[in-house]
Structure 1
Amino acid sequence: MSATASPAGPAPGAPNAPRDRRIILWRHGQTSWNVEGRFQGTTDIELTRTGVQQARRSARRLAQLKPHAIVSSDLRRAAATAAELAGLTGLEVQHDAGLRETYAGDWQGLTHTEINERYGAEYLAWKHGEPVRRGGGELETEVADRAAPVVLRHADALPDGGTLVVVSHGGAIRTTIGRLLGIEARHWEGLGGLTNCFWSVLGEGVRGWRLLEHNAGSLPEPVIGDDD
């Protein structure tokens, strides 16, 4: 390393110094349409009994992180999941329609098999990563356009070292993560899906947001190694 190199990043208090904030992106609990393999999109489906139990179990874990704020999609499956954490933390949930799942038009309510039978070419193009308005609905980039600013606005309101819990949906969370990490949209599928009531963790670093955990069901652990 040259004598002029400065690996430490900005000094504390410098304009670009990270504020050590953290974003937990938490997927809602199970619904009957999840079990049946149906596209939900913006259809307002309630949690199953199992989904409620999942939310309560996960909320007990996330409450240990002592979040400073909770923001949720206004769809019932997300709002009910968020309410479990709110009940443990005393925080008020802020609901925002910008965090809703991708609107999938005519695909909503159909299983993958039914979609493949009726919209085979469109379904195949989507599976191959092409930008597709599934069922005449939204593009994934359009979901990121509405969801990512909501997350950033609430994250900006956090105190230094603060934690924001965002309760949303699998597709909306993946597109938001992709946008916040600066990943090209064609690579967002590489992030994989989220299990019901599992979450992903973004932490603030010198160069922006970093993916610390993905599809996790246990509390984040410190990263100890040469790459931290």
Structure 2
Amino acid sequence: MTAAGAEAGAEAARTSATGDAQVQRQPTVAGVEAGEKPGRGRRVILWRHGQTSWNVDRRFQGTTDVELTETGIGQARRAARLLASLKPDVIVASDLQRAANTAAELSTLTGIDVIHDEGLRETYAGVWQGLTHEEIIAQYGDEYAAWKRGEPVRRGGGELETEVADRAAPVVLRHADKLPEDGTLVVVSHGGTIRTTIGRLLGLESRHWESLGGLSNCCWSVLGEGARGWRLLEHNAGTLPEPVLGDDD
């Protein structure tokens, strides 16, 4: 058979007759005909709050309710314009003002009321809260070194990372489960809480959570729903690389 004949045969195999007309059948991918838009699945966008003065000072915040700086407000407004274009269905945020006020900027643009949940607060760090990293090293050097080695540590007598995931991940899942097909949830929280929640939702062992790295102020990560669970689609997105300033650096 000539090459032209082979091509004609292949074309005939891709067509079916309806009356006098020839209707070309489109190739399929995973059972979806070309031209159809396959469902992308639900998305969860985990967005860290804007800058605070304690971030700049490298002072541990934990659950201390520190407000945004003017720079942080500007970061929130710029990021909100980008996130609004993703057409979120639900916005849920930590009730600490640095996260709540960041979320408010997105609420203003989308008209979606923010749901506040204390389960999304940052890791409680006990006596470390209010101290700079240098002060913690001077006063609690062994504990700090163990934490940096990735060992499970109750920083300042506070929460373990697994305990943070125990309270935060169910909040995210509860709201994600209520999304429409292809819906988008925006979760506005804190660097440490977001990292541990991502680790839990991806099914990673807690000793590997550190490998995810921290988030810069007002950057976000995106989880997508797949056939076998959640997948990390983007991490620390939103800007060119910037220093990570905060409890999780």
* TM-score past 0.5 threshold: yes
How high is the sequence identity, in percent, across the aligned residues?
79
- Secondary structure in structure 1 of the residue aligned to 2:85: helix
Alignment length (residue pairs): 205
Deviation by residue 1:148-171 (Cα, 9 ceiling, x = unmatched): 000000000100000000000000
Task: Please name the residue that 1:68 is paired with.
Answer: 89
Task: Please name the residue that 2:237 is paired with.
Answer: 216
User: Aligned to 2:47, which of 26, 40, 50?
Assistant: 26
Q: Which amino acid aligns with 2:171?
A: V
Deviation by residue 1:25-64 (Cα, 9 ceiling, x = unmatched): 0000000000000000000000000000000000000000
CA RMSD of aligned residues (A): 1.5
Q: Which amino acid aligns with 1:192?
A: G
Q: Which amino acid aligns with 2:144?
A: Y
- Structure 2, unpaired ranges of 5+: 1-28, 33-38, 240-249
User: Aligned to 2:79, which of 38, 58, 61?
Assistant: 58
Q: In 1, distance between residues paired with 2:130 and 2:210?
A: 22
Task: Please name the residue that 2:61 is paired with.
Answer: 40
Shift of 1:21: 0.1
Q: In 1, distance between residues paired with 2:117 and 2:226?
A: 26
- Secondary structure in structure 1 of the residue aligned to 2:143: helix
1:195 aligns with 2:216: yes
Structure 1 segments (4+ residues) deviating >3 Å: none
Task: Please name the residue that 2:186 is paired with.
Answer: 165
Q: In 2, distance between residues paired with 1:114 and 1:185?
A: 27
Q: In 2, distance between residues paired with 1:167 and 1:49?
A: 18
1:78 aligns with 2:78: no
Q: In 2, distance between residues paired with 1:208 and 1:52?
A: 34
Q: In 2, distance between residues paired with 1:59 and 1:19?
A: 22
Shift of 1:114: 0.6
1:110 aligns with 2:131: yes
1:132-151 map, 5 Å: 132-151=153-172
1:49 aligns with 2:88: no
- Structure 1, unpaired ranges of 5+: 1-6, 12-17, 219-228
Q: In 2, distance between residues paired with 1:8 and 1:89?
A: 34
Q: TM-score, normalised by structure 2?
A: 0.80
Task: Please name the residue that 1:14 is paired with.
Answer: none
Q: Which amino acid aligns with 1:130?
A: E
Q: Which amino acid aligns with 2:42?
A: R
Task: Please name the residue that 1:185 is paired with.
Answer: 206
User: Aligned to 2:119, which of 98, 116, 136?
Assistant: 98
Q: In 2, distance between residues paired with 1:53 and 1:199?
A: 16
Q: In 1, distance between residues paired with 2:87 and 2:151?
A: 40
